[in-house]
Structure 1
Amino acid sequence: MALLLIFLLNPTVILAAESTNQSESERQALLSFKQGIANDPLGVLLSWGNDSLYCSWRGVTCGKTLPPHVISLELNYLQLDGVLPSSLANLTSITRLDLGHNSFQGVIPDELGTLPKLRNLMLANNLLFGVIPHSLATSSSLTVLNLSSNSLSGSIPYFHNTAALQILSLAENNLSGSIPPSLGNVSSITELYLHANILHGSIPETLSRIWNLSVLNLGYNDLFGYVPDKLYNISSLRNLDLGQNSLIGQIPPDIGNSLPILIALIMSGNKIKGSIPASLANASKLQVIDLSSNSLEGPVPPLGFLSKLYILSLGKNHIDVEASAFLTSLANCSRLQILDMAGTYLKGSLPRSFGNLRNLQILSMENNWLTGEIPSTIENLSQLSLLGLDNNKLSRNIPASLGQCKQLVMLNLSANSFYGPIPSQLSNTTSLSLGLDLSHNNLTGPIPPQIGALISLIHLDISFNNFSGEALASLGRCVSLQYLNTKRNMLNGSTSQSFSDLKSIILIDLSQNNFHGPIPVFLVEFVQLILLDLSNNHFEGEIPTGGIFENTTAVILYGNIDLCANANANFASEFAICLTISAGGTKKDYERLLLIVIPLITVTLFSFLCFVVTRSKKTAPTTPCYKDTLKKVSYGDILKATNWLSPVNKISSSCTGSVYIGRFEFDTDLVAIKVFHLDEHGSLNSFLMECEVLRNTRHRNLMKAVTLCSTVDLENNEFKAIVFDLMANGSLDMWVHPKIHQNCPKRGLSLGQRIRIAVDVASALDYMHNQLIPPLIHCDLKPANVLLDYDMTARVGDFGSAKFLSSNLCSPKGFVDLGLGGTIGYIALEYGMGYKISTQCDVYSFGVLLLEMLTGMRPTDAMFTDGMSLQKLVSSAYPNGLCEVLDPYMSQEEDHKSAKQTLQSFLLPLVEVALLCSMDLPQNRPGMRDVSTKIFGISEAFLESG
């Protein structure tokens, strides 16, 4: 008893016991953190063992006072994958927690905000989701809070009692709602990053109370209204980025005086009017000025005194600039690297002095009124990587001195009045890879053989010139070509065998030349090719069979009268008539020929009259789907772009509309034009819904419109069409079921490609369901409505059946009544039975789509009868017999992985997700946020395993 009393009354013993308990608590907190790590590919935590002092563990720093306590945990850029345990809150002495640039998932524990000494919390560049814990917004110790580049959602919490906070970064998340005015009360903030979210509303005037603010970045949101005048009076601002919003008003004329230490001013992509303030020249520290894509007017003030300027972007405004004086005035801006003056009414000639901008890397002056020649001093721009002078009035020869710009990756001189030959010195710019566009000029002579040295070139367009001689022998050495257009020249010769090396090519247009000889059989092997136009030449002999020639909509051969189609049934009917006539046919044969030729002549005449006729008729009101700045196209433009809605150009068709491949005059890029069948029931509503969706969405995995056309046709009938970028690799349906699409493409999707497509589609649905207000439901998700870009990026399209869950239409549970739509096999069971629709209907469709991708079987295949379904088939084979139902044509580019590893690590988890998504009862299905996170994790694991 006496010893016990001594122990209890001895404070040293008591403190030692408390210290031991605290140390054990910290050890257990770190071990709990380790236990939450699902993947540690670099072996970072191997030193974290039970039998060692945790102060020696990698990333752990302890204080110097005794007993030691954890004061810092730094494990950034280490590819860690796991969740954050709430037990980290037991590290009560920690001041710095940096887990940035990893793959941590799940939510941020609310307990982190209770750490009494935590000053720096950095969780940027992870996969965290959920809302920002309220406790972090009330922490009195935090000085740095960096949660950027995650998938956090909800609104920005109410920040108060945070007198120490200096840096707040919530950028690149999915935060919605408005910017809380309470942020203006946190006067200690010096850097505020809220860019790349979905924030809306106006900029709170209270932000101007943060007098020590150095960086304010609100770009890439949906902010609107005026910029508060007082914001321009924060003299401490060094970086002001309000770009890519919908802000209005004018830039204050004295901004250069009120913000004297400003380094970067970015206000691009807004609706700012007025003039460019001359006072900007007084802000001598300016390095970046980006005012592009606004409605600015008037002259450009002299900015040549800004000797530190390295980015100047004023493109797409209404400013009036004389090129010679303007470029000469920039002589002192020797550090200038990017100069963007595209679409600014820039006029006059280019001065020789513009060769003094020796550090220039990007020069964009397209869509202006430049005249004269390109001065030879351009050879001084040795760092130039991108030069855009297209759509001007430049003339004379292309200077040979361009060959000295040996860093060029893209050169666009199209739509000018250049004449003479292509200088052979251009071959010196072997760095040219993205594109060489010389189309729509008056260039002559042969194609110099030296062009073949551009072996990295992807895009080559020399169409609409007067070139002559043979071309394909030298061009065949450009083995990286994906796009080749020589249309409307005087080129001749045959397609030489060296041309067979262009295995990556996607589009070939050799039309309206003098090529002759047989169509080369090796074109059958070009599995990437989606369009081949050999029309109006002198090709002869039989048309090859197989490959792209199995798809008559992808091959254009008219105007080659010596071709015969006996070997190819797809082309036989058209060509047999022509062959019969040439051999002396009957009267009936002539009549059949006239049925083909007369309509062609008629539509040619119509093309000449289209513009006059459509302007003379009343115009249907245009649906306000897009800003007025979008490219305007008429009915006549669409007729010409699609060869007068030729069946040859038709890609696909449904009851509500047909999709055509086309190209507008003076444009180089192909487009997909969806023309709506307005005589069909529901087609007009489909058009209006697609417009509404396209107007309100912005995501890399959703189709984006180029423009639309809402007018009347030649018979005064209402006409509506939407123009999209052409998806070079077609639909997912083509790749999953190549036999149904004439074995085009011939190769199957690899597992890696299927996983990436699943990630893209899941990300799009997560955005639609969880990041839009109100949520958007697709209602018709299927492989045919998933399009694949040139790099196999998936984009969800066709929103004609989509619905917004508008709050004023919804029941208390968030559902809305709809008529039955969608496609049989992909429709959720409850939807098909007349129940109200919810986001879970899309989850069901996604599950079916994922099963279809993995098995190669449609949910409507004939084998699925008598109660059997795709889901039941896969479920019965899961997990042990799964290999028996997987797509046998799934190409294995991942041969280095064992089949067992592939099955266990990737295929089983994917199938499990698909089966969960396609459960019969909606309450048993996960939400798309969880689905997207899960599939992203599978994708990351797949990449790391390689």
Structure 2
Amino acid sequence: MSSRLLSLSPVLFSVLFHVGFIVLACTAFGFTNETDKQALLAIKDNIPGDPFRVLSSWNDSINFCDWQGVICSRRHQRVAILSLSSINLVGSISPHIGNLTFLRDIYLNNNSFHGTIPQEIGQLSRLQQLWLNINSFQGEFPTNLTRCLNLRVVNISGNNLVGKIPMELGSLSNLLNLSLSKNHFSGKIPPSLGNLSALRTLVLNYNNLEGSIPFELGQLSHLQSLGLSSNNLSGVVPNPFYNISSINYFVLSSNQLRGTLPPDLGLTLPNLQILYLGNNQFTGTIPPSLVNASRLVKIDTTVNALIGPVPMNLGSLLYLQWLTIGSNALGAKKDNDLTFINSLINCTNLRLLYLNDNGFGGVLPNSIVNLSTKLTELMMDQNYIYGSIPQGIENLKNLELLSLNQNMLTGSIPETIGQVSMLAELYIYENNISGKIPTSIGNISQLNVFSSRKNMLEGSIPVSLGSCKNLQVLDVGYNRLIGPVPEQVLDLSSLSIALLLSHNQLTGPLPPQVGDLKNLAQLDISENKLSGEIPSSIGNCLVLQLLHMEGNLLEGTIPSSLKQLRGIEVLDLSRNNLSGEIPRFLGEFSFIQNLNLSYNSFEGEVPSEGVFMNATAFSILGNNKLCGGIKTLELPECPVKVSDKKEKLSARGLMIIIVISTTLSLTLLIACFCAILCLNRKTKARSYPDHQLGNWYPTLSYAQLLQATNGFSSANLIGEGRYGSVYKGILNFGEQVVAVKVLNLQQHGANKSFLAECETMKNIQHRNLLKIITSCSSICFNGNDFKALVFEFMPNGSLESWLYPNFSDQQNSKYLDLIARLNIAIDVASALEYLHHHCGTTIIHCDLKPSNVLLDNKLCAHVGDFGLARFLPTTIGKSDHTQSTSSTAVRGTIGYVAPGNQLLS
């Protein structure tokens, strides 16, 4: 052996020596196959949830390279690929993953991993692909990841990551795909991303990014997919973007971008397939050159300020599936505005056509019935269209949504509408449509919503509607309908949102089957000619929030079963022939905001508890036999009730009564005093509406707030506190942006905080106090209590976010100069001066801190969050002062004592 070694050349001998040394060194330092195995076992230990038992194969019975989800390199038998996607794993990623030094690809996407992404991943110098999307990772982006210079794919979308996007990402020159959407990243888009010359995909949708789109990103000449939607980006789109001819996915919707679209857009972006520009501030016209991007599949420009005609040649886009251009200023209210629809007949793949809320005029074209049979949604509402719904509508056999409301349509509803069997939502309200509701509508088994209010429909409500077993909303109010309310309609247990039959000429009694609508939220039968008594079964409608029965011929008493409607917010029984006493249980409704019993024949004593303590929340006008109640009503006192047996009292009996009365007078006086104290305590313990904002604030239901915040989506979450979460919401069809503070009623003290904030905010008004719009105290669709406060939205967030920006992104942080800081200090001082000296009863905030100071678009400060506020009597005597300072509990934020706390705590 030694002779053979000696015969080797010195160079070869040296090479063999060094290779052997490296092998020995690697063994000594632990970089072996055994290291990979131990690292995998450590990863397994951090994953307690493995419903499909995928990791059960990770044991000593087989080589770790044969473990499920593990792929080793052939040459070194080291872990090269870790593939565990979409198997519902629950746990965190062990830092030992950094010991898999040969790891090239990581696929852990679509699981339930949580915790932070380990910085140790930055040790994987061979790493090329990192797929961690659709999990629940928290914390900031792992900056050490930028050391992996061979990275080609980074996909961390669909997590809960926060902080800034690191500018160091611009050093990953081999990166092809960067997807960080659906997180909570804030700050600006780093201009350094423009250095990623090989980048093909950049997707940052659904974050909290702000500022303008960096001009440097226009240098990404190979970019194919650009997604920046649902952020807070502003300014104009840099012109170089419109010259990246490779782009096929161009998504900028739901920002605050402005500017016009280049007239040659379709020429410079010939590969365009997806164009989403909706919910911005774009102006100008839709470029006719779009037809040159012949592979266009989806076009969305909704909610902008586009004007002019729609190009006539869009029918050349044979692959077109979406054309959603609603909520602009397109059209000129002229007869030829809708001529372009004729060309769309050639788009045989068309599925969505949104033309709503524009200025389109002219006759509703018959050509709509010749549109693609794949069409599922057709919206043409809120325009200036006249004519009638064309015959042949049944050709659109896959139509699920038809919205023609708020136009000037005439004629009748075609009988063939019943052949559109997939139709789920039919909106034709606020037109001039006449004739009868076709009985064939009962053939539409998928129908969820039928809204035809404010037309001239006549005849009876078809009993065939009882066959629509999925119907949730039936709105046929403000028509000329006659006859009874069909029992078959009231048998629809699916009716859960609204049954609206008001302002017709319906007759007869309300059938007892109304009690079967156990999930109904709104019932309106007002302004008809309904007679008979209120069915006692209506008490079974436990979810009712609004009940309108006014303007009918109803008689009898209010049934006691109505006490079961504990979530009722509006109850209107006015202008009927109801009689008897006003039930006291009406005062026990905790959520009621409006009770109208006026113009009936009620008699007896008016209750003085609950809603009856607030004269602005109820009305009893036109009931001339009532007495008692609160003093504001100025009703006569109720007579003392005496027995019907009129017996003459003897002088001796009278004397006995006088003696007994005299003897017990002191006892009675003490008992009355105790009863008054007890009543006061009960009154204070209950959450009556007078503790909330009052009837002069707008009424918003749980359903409206649910819709305004997109289902309280995490994408709309703008803050979290001890007692709840704050969401950005949009009310009134996009006209009003608000902040919705939803209380977590499971948190001890949340309800008290809600009542304190309502009581405070309804008594104060100052330009430097956060303006409250309304409150909502209701029941959610699951039957649980729901409380929320709705405030004016402050676009510049809290003072804290300006004073204490994230350390890793100080270069791009918000900045307040000396003048701005001084103005904010003056604003806060003005608010406190008002609260302490000029709002009647002195109010102490008790939790003043930078996070409770909000800034509007002009950086004017507004003090908010009065959940811990205290009222202080104007004059504090010695004993009062002693009592007010006897508590040793600290109010406010832990680790922070607000000014004024020393007086109240």
TM-score, with length taken from structure 2: 0.70
Which of 533, 543, 551 is 1:536 aligned to?
Answer: 551
Give me the whole-angstrom Cα distance separating, in 1, the residues matched to 2:436 and 2:805. Answer: 71
Q: Report how far residue 732 of structure 1 moved.
A: 6.8
Q: Confirm or deny: 8 A CA contact 2:417 2:440 kept in the other structure.
A: yes
Partner of 2:463: 449
Q: Which amino acid aligns with 2:23?
A: L
2:539 alignment counterpart: 524
Contact 1:661–1:671 at 8 Å: present in 2 too?
Answer: no
Shift of 1:185: 0.9
- The one-character-per-residue Cα deviations of 1:559-603 (angstroms, maximum 9, x if unpaired) are 11244336556499967983569xxxxxx996989x99xx9xxxx
Structure 2 distance, partners of 1:391, 1:589, is 40
- Structure 1 residue 327: Cα displacement: 1.4
Q: Aligned partners of 1:223, 1:807: CA distance in 2, in Å?
A: 21
| Cα contact 2:361–2:384 (8 A) shared by 1 | yes
In the alignment, is the contact (CA less than 8 A) between 2:170 and 2:194 conserved in 1? no
Counterpart in 2 of 1:15? 23
Match of 1:341 in 2: 355
Amino acid aligned to 2:451: D
For residues 557-576 of structure 1, the aligned pairs below 5 Å read 557-565=573-581, 570=586
Out of 383, 386, 389, the residue aligned to residue 404 of structure 2 is: 389
Displacement after TM superposition at 1:701 (Å): 5.8
Quick one: which of 300, 311, 320 aligns to 1:309? 320
2:160 match: 151
**AA of the residue aligned to 1:557:** L
Q: Which of 723, 731, 738 is the matching residue for 1:706?
A: 731
Which segments of 5 or more consecutive residues in structure 2 lack a partner in the other structure? 7-15, 588-594, 605-621, 634-686, 707-715, 754-768, 807-820, 836-842, 855-864, 869-884, 898-905
Equivalent in 106, 114, 121 of residue 130 of structure 2: 121
Would the alpha carbon gap of residues 835 and 246 (structure 1) be closer, same or farther in structure 2, given more than 3 Å must change? closer
In 2: Cα distance, 1:578 partner to 1:363 partner: 50
Does 50-59 or 182-191 show the bigger shift? 50-59
For the pair shown, which has the larger CA radius of gyration, 1 or 2?
2
Which letter maps to 2:473?
H
User: Counterpart of 1:186?
Assistant: 196
Q: Is the 8 A contact 1:353 1:377 kept in 2?
A: no
- Do residues 141 (structure 1) and 150 (structure 2) align? yes
Q: Say whether the 8 Å CA contact 2:544–2:567 is kept in structure 1.
A: no
Check conservation: 1:652, 1:660, Cα contact below 8 A: no
Aligned to 1:578: 601
Distance verdict in 2 for CA 1:474–1:661, change over 3 Å: farther
Report the secondary structure of 2:416's partner residue.
helix
**Is 2:435–2:456's contact at 8 Å kept on the other side of the alignment?**
yes
Pair 1:553–1:109, CA change in 2 (3 A) = closer
Change (3 A) 1:795 1:127: farther
Q: Decide whether aligned partners of structure 1 residues 923 and 117 sit closer, same or farther in structure 2, where only a CA change above 3 A counts.
A: farther
Contact 2:579 2:601 in 1 (8 A): no
Q: Conserved in 2, the CA contact under 8 Å of 1:476 and 1:498?
A: yes
The one of 803, 806, 809 equivalent to 2:799 is: 806
| Structure 2 residue matching 1:331: 3-state secondary structure | helix
Q: For the residues of structure 1 that align with 2:324 and 2:567, how far apart are their CA atoms?
A: 45
DSSP-derived class of the 2:106 partner: strand
Greater shift after overlay, 116-125 or 38-47? 38-47
Paired AA for residue 556 in structure 1: D
Per-residue CA deviation, residues 399-433 of structure 1 (Å, 9 max, x unaligned), is 11111111111110000000010001111111012
In the alignment, the residues of structure 1 paired with residue 88 and residue 770 of structure 2 have an alpha-carbon distance, to the nearest angstrom, of 35
Is contact 1:565–1:576 with CA below 8 Å preserved after alignment?
no
Equivalent in the alignment of 2:206? 196
2:95 matched residue in structure 1? 86
1:356 aligns with 2:370: yes
Asked if structure 1 preserves the Cα contact closer than 8 Å seen for 2:400 and 2:425, the reply is: yes
**Structure 1: stretches of 5+ with no match in the other structure:** 582-587, 600-649, 673-693, 711-721, 737-753, 762-776, 824-830, 849-864, 872-917, 925-946
**Structure 2 SS opposite 1:216:** strand
| 2:105 aligned partner | 96
1:640 maps to: none
**Structure 1, residues 713-743: CA drift from partner, whole Å, max 9, x if none?**
xxxxxxxxx998999xxx979xx7xxxxxxx
Rounded to whole Å, the distance in 1 between the matches of 2:546 and 2:563 is 12
Q: Indicate how the Cα distance of structure 1 residues 508 and 808 shifts in structure 2: closer, same or farther if over 3 A, else same.
A: closer
Report the equivalent of 2:662.
Answer: none
Q: Give secondary structure in 2 for the equivalent of 1:71.
A: strand
Q: Among 229, 244, 254, which residue is 2:254 paired with? A: 244
Q: d(CA) in 2 for partners of 1:484 and 1:228?
A: 50
Cα distance in 1, alignment partners of residues 249 and 152 from structure 2: 20
Q: Which residue of 2 aligns with 1:40?
A: 50
In 2, Cα distance between equivalents of 1:835 and 1:695? 22
Alpha-carbon distance in 1 for matches of 2:739, 2:509: 32
CA contact (8 A) 1:106 1:127 kept: yes
Q: Residues 725 and 63 from structure 1, CA distance in 2 versus in 1: closer, same or farther, beyond 3 angstroms?
A: closer
> Secondary structure of the residue that 1:523 maps to in structure 2?
helix
The one of 442, 463, 475 equivalent to 1:461 is 475
Q: 1:455 to 1:661 in 2, by over 3 A?
A: farther
One-letter amino acid of the structure 2 residue matched with residue 309 of structure 1: L
Deviations 1:23-61 (A, max 9, x none): 111111111111111322332211112453211211111
Paired position in structure 1 for 2:447:
432
Superposed CA offset, 1:738-794 (max 9, x none): xxxxxxxxxxxxxxxx69x99xx9xxxxxxxxxxxxxxx9999xx987766546797
Displacement after TM superposition at 1:469 (Å): 0.4
- TM-superposed CA distance for 1:549, in Å, is 6.0
The 5 A counterparts of 1:467-616 are 467-482=481-496, 483-545=498-560, 546-547=562-563, 554-565=570-581, 570=586, 578=601
Deviating more after overlay: 180-189 vs 538-547: 538-547
Aligned equivalents of 2:367, 2:733: Cα separation in 1: 42
Secondary structure at the aligned position of 2:799 is classed as coil
Give 1:696 deviation, angstroms. 8.4
3-state secondary structure, aligned to 2:33: helix
Q: Find the aligned partners of 2:600 and 2:368 in 1 and give their Cα distance.
A: 60
CA contact (8 A) 1:565 1:575 kept: no
Change (3 A) 1:387 1:478: same
Where 1:61 maps in the other structure, the secondary structure is strand
- Output the CA distance in 2 between the equivalents of 1:534 and 1:467: 17
Superimposed CA distance per residue, residues 611-634 of structure 1 (whole angstroms, 9 cap, x where no aligned partner): xxxxxxxxxxxxxxxxxxxxxxxx
Partners of 2:356 and 2:381 within 8 A in 1: yes
Q: Tell me the residue number matched to 1:70.
A: 79
Q: Residue 10 and residue 115 in structure 1: after superposition, are their counterparts in 2 closer, same or farther (change >3 A)?
A: closer
Matched residue of 1:432: which SS? coil
Letter in 2 for 1:43: R
Within 2, Cα distance between the matches of 1:576 and 1:160? 74
CA contact 1:651–1:661 (8 Å) conserved in 2: no
What does residue 408 of structure 1 align with? 423
SS of the residue aligned with 2:381?
A: coil
Q: Deviations over 1:249-308 (max 9, x none)?
A: 110000111111111111111111111111011111111111111111111112110111
Question: Match for 1:263: what amino acid?
Answer: Q
CA 1:9–1:320 in structure 2 vs 1: closer, same or farther (change >3 Å)? closer
Deviation at 1:662, TM superposition (A): 5.5
Distance 2:436 2:444 in 1: 17
Distance (Å, rounded) in 2 between the aligned partners of 1:401 and 1:833: 64
